[in-house]
Structure 1
Amino acid sequence: MRPDDLPTVELAFPGPERDRGVAAILSGRKTALTGLLEIYEHDGETVPMTGQRFSVLDSEGRPVVTIELVDVRVVPMKEIDDDFARAEGRGYSNVAQWRAAHEEFFRSDGVSEYLGHTPVIDHNTVVVAERFRVVEPE
């Protein structure tokens, strides 16, 4: 399957945050993603499944790398552990740092504007925790 035929993943919003995430995937530091279940529901999208492949887009909307999901869990934030936090490839040394960064992002103006309200983020907030492997650079 060509990258153009795959569903796409866009990390955060276009700009420096997305660029850092894409670079972390390409370097091998990032092997996990976290999404807010409420965003999937808002979009009417189903939760991705293990084995699914995605084309990761850069800030210009160009396919950069293909990933394959190796594990997908729908869990409350309190179930994320240090190992998963480090796999996010953003330099988090523990789940507390992961949690602070994700709370900030999920409550950001961009997410609030997208959803039409500021989501409630606490230890019971449900996230989609995905682990992946790089299949091929584009």
Structure 2
Amino acid sequence: MNGLRVLELGTPGKLRTWLTDLTLAGTKTATAGLLSLDYEVEGEELEQVGERLVLVDDSGGRVAEIEVTRVELVPFAEVTWEFAQAEGEGYESVAQWREAHRRYWAGEGYEVGDSTTVVCLWYRLATP
């Protein structure tokens, strides 16, 4: 979109709307993806620090531009509490983050093991 890659948070519907709203409020400054599912299967390159992405809403419309501030490839079992908090979704522990994400990805048809590579993408709101 306008020469930039697009970031769609979660799945369409209430989840995407909620995650997008958290980002616009500055509460959510990170998101997780699976290297094998979200990048390799879809033929997507990893984001780069400094890259700008267009954040889209549930209907695919532009709502903001974000700037990537950090990208880490981490085994699922080693995702940190710092990252879980940066996702801004109200987790009370990294164990709760892991359980919620296992459930989410299982719902998408993908079983996550402790060694599954997670792309931890950190960002900041660049332009509303």
Fold shared per TM-score above 0.5: yes
Q: Which residue of 1 aligns with 2:8?
A: 10
Give, in angstroms, the shift of residue 77 of structure 1.
1.0
Give, in angstroms, the shift of residue 4 of structure 1.
2.5
Q: Which residue of 2 aligns with 1:61?
A: 60
Contact 1:21–1:30 at 8 Å: present in 2 too?
A: yes
Q: Which residue of 2 aligns with 1:120?
A: 111
Aligned partner letter, 2:113:
D
TM-score by length of 1: 0.88
Between the aligned partners of 2:89 and 2:25, the Cα distance in structure 1 is 12
Q: Which residue of 2 aligns with 1:134?
A: 125
Between the aligned partners of 1:15 and 1:60, the Cα distance in structure 2 is 9
Structure 1: which 5+ runs fail to align?
113-118
Aligned partner letter, 1:64:
V
Between the aligned partners of 1:95 and 1:16, the Cα distance in structure 2 is 23
Aligned partner letter, 2:65:
T
List structure 1 runs of 4+ shifted beyond 2 angstroms: none
Between the aligned partners of 1:13 and 1:120, the Cα distance in structure 2 is 17
Deviation sequence 1:67-110 (CA, Å, 0-9, x none): 111100111012211111011011112211111111011111xx
Q: Which residue of 2 aligns with 1:116?
A: none
**Structural mapping, 1:1-138, within 5 Å:** 4-39=2-37, 40-108=39-107, 111-112=108-109, 119-137=110-128
TM-score by length of 2: 0.94
Identity %: 38
Give, in angstroms, the shift of residue 64 of structure 1.
0.6
Give, in angstroms, the shift of residue 5 of structure 1.
2.4
Which of the pair is proportionally richer in helix?
Answer: 1
Contact 1:82–1:93 at 8 Å: present in 2 too?
A: no
Q: Number of residue pairs matched?
A: 127
Aligned partner letter, 2:66:
I
Give, in angstroms, the shift of residue 13 of structure 1.
1.3
Between the aligned partners of 2:89 and 2:82, the Cα distance in structure 1 is 12
Structure 2: which 5+ runs fail to align?
none
Between the aligned partners of 2:91 and 2:29, the Cα distance in structure 1 is 13
Between the aligned partners of 2:82 and 2:73, the Cα distance in structure 1 is 17
Contact 2:102–2:111 at 8 Å: present in 1 too?
A: no
Between the aligned partners of 2:45 and 2:127, the Cα distance in structure 1 is 24
